[in-house]
Structure formats: structure tokens, C-alpha cells
Chains A and B, each alone.
Chain A
Amino acid sequence: MLIQLLNGVVYGGLLYLLSVGLVLIFGLRQVVNFAHGALFMIGAYIGYSVAAAGSWWGGLVVAVVAMAIAGCVLDATLFRALRKQDHIVTVLVTFGLLLILETLVTVIWGKAYLRYPMPDLLSGTVDIAGSPFPVYRLFVIVVSIVVALSLASWLRFTRIGLYVRAASTDARVTSIQGINVDRLSLIVVGLGTALAGLSGVVAGPLLSLSPTMGNYILIDSFIVVVIGGMGSFGGAFVAALLIGQIHNFGAIYLPWAGTMLPLLLMVGVLIWRPTGLSGART
């Protein structure tokens, strides 16, 4: 039971890393980034290639840095240009980007499933309440918690964090205070995509690599964002843990309902509380 609970936290942690990036990007750019799952996937492939060349931890760093740069480029080009467009346009453009990136990965790495290795340091199991539990899964939980805590304190206690929260609520009012919101979103989008890269690498050894590996988890991440309340960082954390548990226990006790449960929960939340669990006020 405890082990099952922990497995749910592992998936919830991965979901959190992805969905908080979506929240960051949506907050500053009002862009629903369908390409986020592709960035997760590319992060995993880059990490895989560096790991295959000899350094697992190097792969982690390279993937995160590469995705941060990719995010800054995306923001300065696509997202800035999309700022004044309809939501449907941004959805179509980021969806197109997803398809392009998938094709690109297929060309470079091929379609076949690849096995992402595990770092030696984190292989093996520990004993938790009498059952063995993989050290690597504990590592995933720790990474998610460290990211969640750092991000929360950055947003809460630093000046830039204050600007980010302000711009996520109202970019116009924030810029009128003298803040260059375009420069701010460069940082924020870069951070969001870096987290996608990070979760791709961290998830790599748990999933197998394929050009479409990001699609399923992206849908769950969108569900997390909606349930947590579009634009709420704390809400995303709680919702990610919730969906992680539902995903896990659903797979065990209600396998026939498996993938449907998170969607049903989302519909329920939308009916009962359209602004999400955090209930952002308007």
C-alpha cells in the first residue's frame, strides 16, 4: 500500500514538473503549449545520447540547458509573435510545432523504442516497510520536491518572483509599473521548458524512449493544469499529486477505467468549480 502510494507520488512528481512549466508559460504568454510534451521527449533523447556517450549526469545537465535555450528561442520568436493572436491560433501553431519536433526526432533517433539507462549511483533498491523500492524512484520524488520548494520560494520571496506572479495575473498592469515583461517571459519560458527537459531525462529510465512518449503525459499535465486552476502554481502541485494517485490506483483497481479517471475528475471539477481547485478569483 505504502509502495503503491509512493509510485503514485513518482508519477505525480513528473506531472508536476511538466504542468508547472505549462502554468509558467501560460501565465506570461497566454500560450497553451502543445509542444511541451515534445520538449519533454527531446530532453529525454538528448539526455539519452549523452548518457550513451558515457555520462548520465552530463546528459541531465545538457538536456536541461538545451531545453532552456530552446525555450528562450521559442519565446523570442513564436510566443512573442503569438501574443496578440486568438487562443485557437496559438493552439494550432504549438500543435504544428509538436508534429515538426516529433518528425525531427524520428529522423535523428529513429522510431524504435530505446532503453534509457539508469545511473549506477541510483540503481538498486531500498527496503521500505518490508518491501523493496527502487532507489531511482525515490530520486524522482526528491527531484520533484526540491523543484517544487525552490520554485515556490523563488516566486514567494524574490523580486523577480513577485514580478512573475504579477505578470501572470495582468501583464499590462505589470509592465506599466516599469517592468519589461518580454524580458521576464524569456526567463520564465526558458525555465518552463528547462523543467520539461528535466522531467524528460528523469522519466527516461522509467518509460521507454519513443517520439510519442510525451503525448500521454502531456494530456495528464493539461488535466493537472485545469484541475489546479489555470495559472495557479500551488494548485498544480496538489492536482499533480492527486492525478498521480488516481493514475496509479486506477491502474491497479479499475484497469478498465484507467486513463478515463483523470478526465472524469477534470469534468467533475469543471462542473463543480470552473476556476479549478485553487479557485483563482476574477
Chain B
Amino acid sequence: MSLLAFHDVHALYGQARILNGVTFEVGAGERVALVGRNGVGKTTVVNTLCGGTRVAQGRIELRGRPTKDLRGYSAAQNGIAIVLQGRGILPNLTVEENLLLGGATARRGPWTLAKIQELFPILSERRSNPGWALSGGQQQMLAIGRALMANPDLLILDEPSEGLAPVIVDDLAALLVQLGTDGMGILLIEQNISLIHRVAERFYVLSKGSVAESGSLHNVSRDELQGHIAI
């Protein structure tokens, strides 16, 4: 089953047309990468899913159902959790409150507060600290933990490796592979070729607001992928 699909989506901020016919799809349990250079419109895809742009043309489907009038909460209420670019930690709330917020949709599943604190012990140690007090790496754990609290069928991550030390990116890759193996769909928006290769099975290259290339990552070397992105 398709969890999320864009069909020829054109989207605008005010008068500025950023997406010019974007088409892609993520099925249940699939690990898909959406790649592209800075400014090509990757985050705009996420914003469009959250109702942050005006869709002038095309169709967005959640769980196979065409969805008009997308709102910020639409994705979450359809089992899609998003780790935003820049993490979107609420600075004044405590670590634990940030996590509880992620469970707002109260979907059942394996992930509970205790499970997430077991996965990331630091989030348990620092549960009463405000969000702003965490380091970048800890904020990324919190953002992922918060997304898992929703027990999503699909996890979208917008440039999660940004600003992380290489060893932490390794941990991130291992975690995402594990989540995928356990059946969670993953849409990884990234520029880090090594992370993309370790996590995803398929890829779409976004260029100037539309999909320029797509395919299976098994048949594409790192250099070829790098070449696609550089277009």
C-alpha cells in the first residue's frame, strides 16, 4: 500500500513557484531517499505535505486517498511522523514534554516513553531539562524520539545528518535501518551520500522543483548518485 504519494505537484509560496511537478511515492515498509542540492525544494515538499504552500496543480495522496486542504496535523493523523530540518525542538518545554507531545495522536504501537528512554538513555537522564539546553546531537535524538512516540507507519526525516559528528551519523544509519527492518516506512531527505546508501533502497533526485532521476540504489554507485545530485 502507498503511504504517501505526490502526483505532478506544483506548489507556491505566495507568487514564487517552487515545486514544478513533483511525483514520488513511498509504500509501506519502504526505505526511500529524496536527494538534491540546497535550495531545490526538498523542504518545500515537507512544507507542502503540512499545508504550508499553495498547491496549484497535482494531487497528494495519504494512504492512497487523495487529500484536499492539507493541514499541519494531516500527516500525523495519517500515521506519518516528521523530523523537521533544524529539528523543531520546543525550547521552553522539557525533554519529556517534547516527547509526550509526539504521542499526541495516541496511536498504538511498540514505542512508548519508556522504550524511547531505553533507546536514548540521555533523554531519560535529561528528562527535566529544557529543550534548548541539549546539544545538537541530543536534540536530534529528541526529535527522532518524539517522532517515534507517534508510532508512525512512515517516518520522514529532513536532512537529519546536518551538523552531526560522523560517529553519530553512523548510529543514525544503524537506527534507521533497524526501524525499516521492523517494518516502518522511511523517507530520508538527505545530501549525505554515505547515509543515503546505507539506509535507502530507492531514491528520487529533486532538481529545480521536479524529479530529475529515480531508481534503485542497488544499481547506482556513490559517484553516480553524487553526479545526479550535482546536475
Binding site for B on A (CB under 8 A): 159, 162-163, 165-166, 169-181, 280-282
Task: Determine whether B225 belongs to the interface, using a CB cutoff of 8 Å to chain A.
Answer: no
Residues of chain B contacted by A173 (CB below 8 angstroms):
84, 88, 90
Nearest chain A residue, comparing its CB with the CB of B89? A173
Residues of chain B contacted by A166 (CB below 8 angstroms):
90, 93, 97, 101
Check A178 against B84 for contact (C-beta < 8 Å). Answer: no
Residues of chain B contacted by A176 (CB below 8 angstroms):
50, 72-73, 75-76, 82, 84, 88
What separation, in Å, do the CA atoms of A180 and B146 have in the docked complex? 17
Residues of chain B contacted by A163 (CB below 8 angstroms):
101, 104
Q: Is the contact region of chain B dominated by helix, strand, or loop, or is it mixed?
A: loop
Nearest chain A residue, comparing its CB with the CB of B131? A169
Check B90 against A178 for contact (C-beta < 8 Å). Answer: no
Check A178 against B93 for contact (C-beta < 8 Å). Answer: no
What separation, in Å, do the CA atoms of A259 and B123 have in the docked complex? 49
* Chain B interface bracket (under 10, 10 to 19, 20 to 34, 35 or more): 20 to 34
- Show 6 A/B contacts (Cβ-Cβ < 8 Å), sorted by A: A173-B88, A174-B90, A175-B71, A176-B82, A178-B76, A281-B132
Check A180 against B92 for contact (C-beta < 8 Å). Answer: no
Q: Residues 95-135 of chain B: 1 if any A CB is under 8 Å from the residue's CB, otherwise 0?
A: 00100111011000000000000000000000000001000
Nearest chain B residue, comparing its CB with the CB of A179? B104
Nearest chain B residue, comparing its CB with the CB of A232? B92
Residues of chain A contacted by B71 (CB below 8 angstroms):
175, 180
Greatest chain A CB density within 10 A among B71, B82, B92 is at: B92
What separation, in Å, do the CA atoms of A180 and B72 have in the docked complex? 8
Give min CB distance, A164 to chain B, whole Å. Answer: 11
Given contacts A165-B93, A175-B50, 14 further A-B contacts (CB under 8 A): A166-B97, A169-B90, A169-B91, A169-B92, A172-B72, A174-B72, A176-B73, A176-B76, A176-B88, A177-B101, A178-B105, A179-B101, A180-B73, A282-B91
Counting residue pairs across A and B whose Cβ atoms lie within 8 Å, the total is 70
Check B90 against A175 for contact (C-beta < 8 Å). Answer: no
Contact of A169 among B93, B105, B150 (CB under 8 A): B93
Check B100 against A162 for contact (C-beta < 8 Å). Answer: yes
Check B101 against A162 for contact (C-beta < 8 Å). Answer: yes
Residues of chain B contacted by A177 (CB below 8 angstroms):
73, 76, 101-102, 104-105, 146, 150
What separation, in Å, do the CA atoms of A181 and B38 have in the docked complex? 30
Given A162-B100, A172-B50: A179 touches B90 (CB 8 Å cut-off): no
Give min CB distance, A180 to chain B, whole Å. Answer: 5
Task: Determine whether B181 belongs to the interface, using a CB cutoff of 8 Å to chain A.
Answer: no
Q: Residues 34-51 of chain B: 1 if any A CB is under 8 Å from the residue's CB, otherwise 0?
A: 000000000000000010
Give min CB distance, A83 to chain B, whole Å. Answer: 12
In B134-176, the 8 Å CB interface with A consists of 146, 150
Residues of chain A contacted by B150 (CB below 8 angstroms):
177-178
Task: Determine whether B194 belongs to the interface, using a CB cutoff of 8 Å to chain A.
Answer: no
In B54-102, the 8 Å CB interface with A consists of 71-73, 75-77, 82, 84, 88, 90-93, 97, 100-102
Residues of chain B contacted by A159 (CB below 8 angstroms):
100
List 8 A-B pairs, minimum CB-CB distance, nearest first.
A175-B72, A178-B76, A178-B105, A173-B88, A177-B104, A178-B104, A175-B73, A178-B73
What separation, in Å, do the CA atoms of A171 and B51 have in the docked complex? 13
Check B73 against A179 for contact (C-beta < 8 Å). Answer: yes
Nearest chain A residue, comparing its CB with the CB of B132? A281
Nearest chain A residue, comparing its CB with the CB of B83? A176
